[in-house]
Amino acid sequence: MKELNLQNSQTRLRARFLKNGVKMTGPETIFFSHDTKIGKNVIIEPYVVIGKKVKIGNNVIIKSFSHLESCEIENKVEIGPYARIRPNTILKEGSRIGNFVEVKKSIIGKKSKVNHLSYIGDSEIGKSVNIGAGTITCNYDGVKKNKTIIKDNVLIGSNSSLVAPITIDKQSIVGASSVITKNVKKRSLALTRSTQLEIKNYRRK
């Protein structure tokens, strides 16, 4: 009986959102909560789960296999595929969260992008920031959660680790494969990378 009630509830929610203009491909694979709020001109692809306390603005695209809960999605945001948006996250207008990205308790600023294979937790990210593939915010020191602040127009190179608490100031660049443990000043390049060694004519023993 409980399962039947759940199915009926989901059928009603899907019908309501379709009537309100939400575009769904495979609506039978999309799950909503009773308190889900969705704006105008929203597209939701198959196999999306929307948990409790989710507010979605206008002109948003949510791609397949994404999971959202207790978050706010502003206008013109694109999410997924395979994205996880966890509680207390705000995605500002025009931001982009790509495939295999997890965001928790963070603000992603206007027109900022976290496109591939990244974890952003306990962070404030400013406007027009580009987070490279494989970047993680190291927010937990074993005792408490610490904050990462990335200000406007920053570029974070791929495969970087940002060890919180840390602030990356405006218009700075973090070189790929860096482990950043200290604050980065405005318009600076921060790079922590070992010198590449090459042994010529090397033979395996």
Annotated active-site residue in 29, 69, 88, 116? 116
67 tagged catalytic: no
**Chain centre distance of CA 49:** 15
- 14 in helix, strand or coil? helix
Q: Comparing C-alpha atoms, which of 115, 119, 126 is closest to residue 105?
A: 119
Q: Comparing C-alpha atoms, which of 59, 96, 65, 97 is closest to residue 82?
A: 65
Active site residues: 116
